[in-house]
Structure 1
Amino acid sequence: MYIMHYPIIPRPNKLIERKGFFILNEETCVKTSQECTKFVSYLKELVETPTGFTIDINSRDKVENTIEFLLNKNLALEKEGYHLNITEDKIVIKARESVGLFYGMQTLRQLLPPEIESNSPIEDIEWKIPCVSIEDYPRFKWRGHMLDVCRHFFGVDVVKKTLNLMALQKLNVFHWHLTEDQGWRIEIKKYPKLTDIGSKRADTQLKHSRSRKFRGKPHGGFYTQEEIREIVEYAKKRFITVVPEIEIPGHSQAAIAAYPELTCFGDNFEVASTFGVKKIIYCPGKDEVFKFWKDVLTEVMNLFPSEVIHIGGDEVPKDRWQECPDCQKLIKEKNLKNEEDLQVYVTNTMASFLAENGRRLMGWNEILDEGLEPNAICHYWAHSEKEVLKHIKMGRDMVNSKNKFTYLNYGYKGMPLEKVYSFDPVLEGLEGEELKHVLGLETPLWTEWIPDQKTLEFQAFPRIMALAEISWTSKENRDYTSFFQRLQAFEKRLDYLKVNYANEEERNPSLIARIRKLIRGK
């Protein structure tokens, strides 16, 4: 009964089954206050095309067949929580904040037949919504998805579809990876060559990082500042915060191709056409490099209202710093021990600059150091879990993207759906007040080997749905069998949304196939 009538993903934390159905028809009307009108518009946009109904608003004398939105600041709910009560006569969504009403709407949407996602009229269907009482709220406040648009560029339409699908799953942070060795994707007015030169590469490596095969044609693209503002506003309407990532000090060959003076020896390089970690990185020994970073981040902050700005900080080979007179001079002047300390100095300088502007730095876990600015957020992906655990116990906030469970670019053979669903972002050994420093989780999707939207969606779905449930649903309410059955019922909705998801056999390859993969080391 539960799975048949309530195929909701992520699973609500409190659900009481009721008998009967609410029937959405041409007589249905919406009752709401002025402050909730945007949710009425969202509902109308969702239902009017597939149903052919015109939803009436605020029929005062109407008491049956109504949908009501209520905001009540005094409700005993968390900020993102909601109540959804459906009887045969009425649907009521209550929340303390607007975001809660929005998430209640997403649950109501999933209770409608999947045909509701159609962008053309559907005939001969009864729009039945099962009666239910739901009280729901998220486990974590950071429920993120990261898209790398540097290794392969994806246009505004793909980003908007990504945001729509995130909203359906109650994900609320879009981490936008915008700069890399293989392409600079954000327009910076003060440095036009970043996109004139840095957004284009001559070719693209195929298959793997040691391959000598190439696509045989240039690749490029970037977002204008106008497009970025459009996307940020589009996300905001869906209660999604866009967190930009501007890599500092590594993964920077595209910027250096545009402005060679930013590297240690001022030598010329092309935007990288191959993948893997590159040794061509910024030179912190030059004052003009810090000026460049601050200028870029100033324009970034003017585009993105997010409190958090991600600076990467991972995979920084320091070979050139060891040979660079400017870097060695700075190490001596600042009484630093070595090149590792120099990166900490860079990170802390940028953290202070962001803090002066009311922002907060985030970086991959390679930025961790006992001397690191305490307010910097650790984004855990790999390497020493013990080091990350130590910093959390010291009071540092962390977002968990442990690669073996969350990297959606990994193949299904090594990271099948069932394994993904077993992930828990809380590191073993945390307890009490320490738990509040686990902000949540994020699902990175790196695109070295993902050249098109079809592959992008295949890698993400349905694993991103499993991770959405992990980030929203309390651990005691999670159950893989239930998730798997709800997912099967959900597939028709994905079909109407035109999502290219991995089918049942593809997302959980056989054990034999997975063992063969491990033996071959592929």
Structure 2
Amino acid sequence: MPGFGTLLPRPVSVEPRPGECLLAPGREPEVSFSPELPAEGYRLEITPDGVWITAADAAGAHHAGQTLRQLKGPDAFRAADIHSGPWRLPCGVVTDRPRFGWRGCLLDVARHFRTKAEVLRFTDLLAAHKLNVLHLHLTDDQGWRFDVPRFPRLTEVGAWRRESMVGRHDGPERDGRPHGGCYRADDLREIVAYAGARGITVVPEIDVPGHSRAAIAAYPELGGGRRVDVWTSWGVCEDVLDPSKSTLDFYRAVLDEVLDVFPGPVIGIGGDEVPGATPEHGRFVARLAEHVRSRGRRPFAWDEVLDGPALPPGTVIGAWRDEQAGRRAVAAGHDVVLCPEDRVYLDHRQSDHPDEPIPVGYVRTLADVYGWEPPAGPGVLGVQAQVWTEHLDSVRRVDYAAFPRLAAFAEVAWSTGPRDHAGFLSRLRDHHLPRLDALGVEYRPLGGPLPWQTRPGVPGRPR
């Protein structure tokens, strides 16, 4: 019978009690709400007579349900019930609350498009790990994924590219295979509603003024009139937006569509990696941030914007270059989400073994992710892992890159220290990986990639 020592992320406190509960199939726990509990917190009590949940809010009730699901065992994570007889649960009380209010994961659907069904599946995986923000990177040089009826060429032209770079070697090799896709407004509304029912807020991102070649391919005037194709390479593209009034008006109209589809409090506007950036590019981002703020929302921008003009109050900074950027953001009066590249970029290689597929970035092992101790304090909203998809061209590749490291990240985001790597590894190996198996997640095995998870001959760019 699974015990409280199987739980992941680790709860704040557990009080085991004698006996066990035989919970009949289909019998739901009794749920009540208490304003005395902290946001997203819950109390789960299991007795021989049944299961009771007291939660701060709907999100807390959902998290309690995930804890109960873990205690039932891996079969509780299957899409259909194959369990026979009552669920055998240990008696006791779990009292729990999250360490950070923002526990996010970015999914890049611009470089490689993920279908609506695949995004819904990824949302379920976030919810199973008590993560509560899905950051959708919707636009980039290699594709525009958000349908804007007023500007149809954004998806007619910008949503697909004729081929893709093979690996990352900055050479001429391409796969010769067209790639594309986009989301209609109702698809995205469905994703938002689906996520919301699982305690997850969706943060959309329209990246400007760099990472914009797909938009420029659709409407050349956005880039000063030069005609280009949707980019087929990876890396940082030299094509950036012309920060003119007409371009600003265009993106204000785009953001109005985004604001209509996504009701959440935070809207991403990018601001990162702008080759040849001028002060006017900085003012362009600041004006779009003010537009988002004027609509009652909070803009989210990457930490490069700290080098430009002052941003409106309430702007959230994604500190990706290093933790020092987070300190700068707080000192400037902004809230910050910590997502440093050298810690939580899950597209980075997981070992230095030659079988590691398309090895890019730093070596960031499961132990490295689990051992990260993000600084807390005033202005720090929370933390976010990043799943960039230049080299993740299928759901199987996303699974491999994200898991089980995202499970380690979930514990960092939810649970306070001290860290016990051996204990975490035991919970992961003996209990949590079977749950991922039941969910159909093709994670990276602890011993290294399986033969079909390798990419022989496809070059990377390790650091």
Give the TM-score, by structure 1 length.
Answer: 0.81
Q: In the alignment, what sits opposite 2:34?
A: 72
Given residue 365 of structure 2, which amino acid in structure 1 is its aligned partner?
Answer: P
- Letter in structure 1 aligned against 2:249: K
Do structure 1's residue 274 and structure 2's residue 233 form an aligned pair? yes
How many angstroms does 1:120 deviate by? 3.7
Deviation, 1:87, is 1.3
Q: 1:173, 1:240 within 8 Å by CA — same for their partners in 2?
A: yes
The CA deviation string for residues 424-465 of structure 1, in whole angstroms up to 9 with x for no partner, is 2217xxxxxxx1211111111011111111111010001011
Q: 1:230 to 1:348 in 2, by over 3 A?
A: same
1:247 aligns with 2:207: yes
Residue 13 of structure 1 and its aligned partner are, at CA, apart by 0.8
Q: What is the CA-CA distance between 1:235 and the residue it aligns to?
A: 0.7
The one of 208, 212, 225 equivalent to 2:172 is: 212
- Preserved CA contact (<8 Å) 1:209 1:274: no
Corresponding position of 1:421: 370
8 Å CA contact retained: 1:443, 1:464: yes
Residue matched to 1:62? none
- 1:93 maps to which residue? 53
Deviating beyond 3 angstroms after TM superposition, the runs of 4 or more aligned structure 1 residues are 3-6, 123-126, 385-388
What CA distance in whole angstroms lies between the structure 1 residues aligned with 2:285 and 2:328?
A: 19
Cα distance change, pair 364–23 in 1 and its aligned pair in 2 (3 A)? same
Distance 1:521 1:218, change over 3 A: closer
Tell me, in whole angstroms, the C-alpha distance in 2 between the residues paired with 1:480 and 1:257. Answer: 48
SS of match in other structure, 1:235: helix
Aligned 8 A contact 1:312 1:364 in 2: yes
1:457: which partner in 2? Answer: 399
Highest Rg: 1 or 2?
1
Q: 2:427 aligns with which of 462, 486, 491?
A: 486
Report Cα offsets for 1:383-402 as digits up to 9, x if no partner. 5x435323313432110111
Percent identical: 37
Residue 386 to residue 494, structure 1, CA distance change in 2 (3 Å): closer
Post-superposition CA distance 1:288-342 (Å, at most 9, x none): 1011010000000000011111111110012xx7xxxxxxxxxxxxxxxxx1x32
What amino acid maps onto 2:174 in structure 1? F
CA drift of 1:370 comes to 7.1
Residue in 1 aligned with 2:18?
19
CA distance in 1, matches of 2:329, 2:396: 39
- Report the Cα distance in structure 2 between the residues aligned to 1:254 and 1:178, rounded to whole angstroms: 11
Matched, 1:116 2:76: yes
Measured against aligned partners, the alpha-carbon deviations of 1:350-403 in whole angstroms (never above 9, x if no partner) come to 1211111001111111111374224321101115x4353233134321101111
| Deviation readout 1:89-130 (Å, 9 max, x if unpaired) | 121100122221111111111110211223344255652111
Q: Which residue of 2 aligns with 1:39?
A: none
In structure 2, the partner of 1:232 is 192
1:209 CA displacement:
4.2
The letter of the residue matching 1:272 is W
Alignment of 1:402 onto 2:340 = yes
Where do 1:190-209 residues align within 5 Å?
190-209=150-169
Amino acid at match of 2:232: S
Query: Equivalent residues in 2 for 1:29-108 (5 A)?
Result: 53-55=25-27, 67-73=29-35, 76-108=36-68
In 1, the alpha carbon distance for the partners of 2:375 and 2:328 equals: 13
Question: Structure 1 stretch 386-395 or stretch 374-383: which is displaced more?
Answer: 386-395
1:34 maps to which residue?
none
- Letter in structure 2 aligned against 1:487: L
> In structure 2, the residue corresponding to 1:129 is in which secondary structure?
strand
Distance 1:186 1:386 in 2: 33
Alpha-carbon contact 2:75-2:83 (below 8 Å) kept: no
Q: Which amino acid aligns with 2:407?
A: M
The secondary structure found in structure 2 opposite 1:6 is helix
Which protein has the bigger helix share? 1
SS of residue paired to 1:310: strand
Name the SS of the counterpart of 2:447 in structure 1: helix
Displacement of 1:243 in angstroms is 0.3
CA distance in structure 1 between the partners assigned to 2:113 and 2:301 by the alignment: 22
Q: CA deviation at 1:86?
A: 0.7
Q: CA RMSD in A?
A: 1.9
Quote how far apart the aligned CAs of 1:210 are.
1.1
Counterpart residue type for residue 366 of structure 2: L
1:506 to 1:150, Cα distance in 2 relative to 1, 3 A: same
Q: Which amino acid aligns with 2:17?
A: R
In 1, Cα distance between the equivalents of 2:404 and 2:255? 35
CA distance in 2, matches of 1:351, 1:305: 16
Residue 375 (structure 1) aligned to one of 314, 320, 339: 314
Unaligned segments of structure 2, at least 5 residues? 352-362, 450-460
Task: State whether residues 283 and 308 of structure 2, in contact with CA within 8 Å, keep that contact through their aligned partners in structure 1.
Answer: no
Residue identity in the other structure for 1:166: L
Cα distance in 2 for partners of 1:164, 1:280 equals 36
- Of 137, 142, 160, which residue of structure 2 is paired with 1:182? 142
8 A Cα contact 1:205 1:213, kept in partner: yes
Instruction: Work out whether 1:386 is the aligned partner of 2:321.
Output: no
Q: Aligned pair 1:297/2:249, yes or no?
A: no
**SS, match of residue 426 in structure 1:** coil
Q: C-alpha distance in 2, partners of 1:300/1:386?
A: 31
Contact 1:308–1:360 (CA under 8 A) maintained in structure 2:
yes
Partner of 1:345: 283
Structure 2 length-normalised TM: 0.91
What is the CA distance between 1:506 and its match in structure 2? 2.2
Distance in 2, Cα, partners of 1:112 & 1:436:
38
Matched, 1:436 2:378: yes
What aligned pairs does 1:320-359 form with structure 2 within 5 A after superposition?
339=278, 341-359=279-297
1:232 CA drift (Å): 0.8
